[in-house]
């Protein structure tokens, strides 16, 4: 049985503040993935700039970091075999316009407003996922994940806790 992979999903402010979009996305997350952690935060611009530091100097950097600190964002640590690719496939292309033509049912194609307000973020590699999860969930233990939790979530049984918006171990 292939091991579970972790990825970070960030639901961007315009998607969190729209109840229809938020509910649609949450349904995908809880039915297609194992949701390992969920947290809602509001970033200050300094934290948004640190998170997106690889884009410093690009024409959209200021727009992106201002937008990401303009309201609540939802952070989800997702798990699945090939979680990174799966979540990015749900998102579709970075460009909303491209998504609308190439893959109209992807989240960005359906709910994106612009290339900045493109619904959500997904880690693009295992290294990025680990770095990004550590950035937002410093208390998350990769040691315990690898030692114990990964196998538990893979084999089950798990149940979904709506209040936490997380899957949790189902104890006998």
Ligand X SMILES: Nc1ncnc2c1ncn2[C@@H]1O[C@H](COP(=O)(O)OP(=O)(O)OP(=O)(O)O)[C@@H](O)[C@H]1O
**Interacting residue with ligand X among 27, 60, 102, 126 (CB under 6 A):** 60
Spatial neighbors of 108 by CB under 8 A, at least 6 apart, are: 91, 92, 93, 94, 95, 96, 99, 118, 119, 120
Q: Counting contacts by CB under 6 A, is residue 130 touching ligand X?
A: no
CB of 14: closest distance to ligand X in angstroms? 11
Rounded to the nearest angstrom, the gap between the alpha carbon of residue 140 and the centroid of all alpha carbons in its chain is: 15
User: Which residues are bridge partners to 121 per DSSP?
Assistant: 10
Judged by CB under 6 A, which stretch of 20-28, 70-78, 110-118, 145-153 contacts ligand X? 110-118
Q: Counting contacts by CB under 6 A, is residue 38 touching ligand X?
A: no
Q: What tokens were used for 9? A: 């999903």
**Interacting residue with ligand X among 38, 79, 118, 166 (CB under 6 A):** 118
Q: Counting contacts by CB under 6 A, is residue 4 touching ligand X?
A: no
Q: Is 121 a catalytic residue?
A: yes
- Alpha-carbon distance 114 to 116, whole Å? 5
Q: Counting contacts by CB under 6 A, is residue 76 touching ligand X?
A: no
Alpha helical stretches, state H, the chain: 13-16, 19-32, 45-51, 61-68, 83-91, 96-102, 107-111, 126-136, 142-144, 150-155
Judged by CB under 6 A, which stretch of 69-77, 113-121, 145-153, 163-171 contacts ligand X? 113-121
Q: Counting contacts by CB under 6 A, is residue 116 touching ligand X?
A: yes
Active-site amino acid positions: 121
Q: Residues in the site for ligand X, rule: CB under 6 A?
A: 60, 64, 94, 115-116, 118, 121-122, 124
């Amino acid at each position: 049985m292939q091991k579970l992979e972790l990825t970070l999903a960030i639901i961007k402010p315009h998607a969190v503040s729209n109840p229809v979009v938020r509910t649609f996305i949450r349904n995908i997350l809880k039915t297609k993935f194992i949701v390992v952690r969920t947290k809602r935060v509001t970033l200050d611009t300094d934290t948004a700039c640190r998170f997106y530091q690889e884009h410093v100097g690009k024409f959209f950097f200021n727009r992106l970091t201002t937008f990401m600190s303009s309201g609540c964002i939802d952070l989800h640590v997702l798990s699945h075999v090939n979680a990174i690719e799966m979540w990015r496939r749900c998102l579709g292309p970075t460009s909303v316009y491209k998504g609308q033509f190439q893959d109209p049912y992807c989240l960005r194609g359906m709910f994106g407003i612009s290339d900045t307000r493109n619904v959500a973020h997904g880690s693009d590699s295992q290294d990025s996922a680990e770095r990004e999860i550590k950035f937002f969930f410093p208390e998350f233990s990769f040691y315990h994940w690898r030692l114990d939790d990964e196998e538990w979530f893979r084999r089950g049984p798990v149940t979904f806790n709506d209040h936490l918006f997380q899957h949790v171990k189902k104890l006998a």
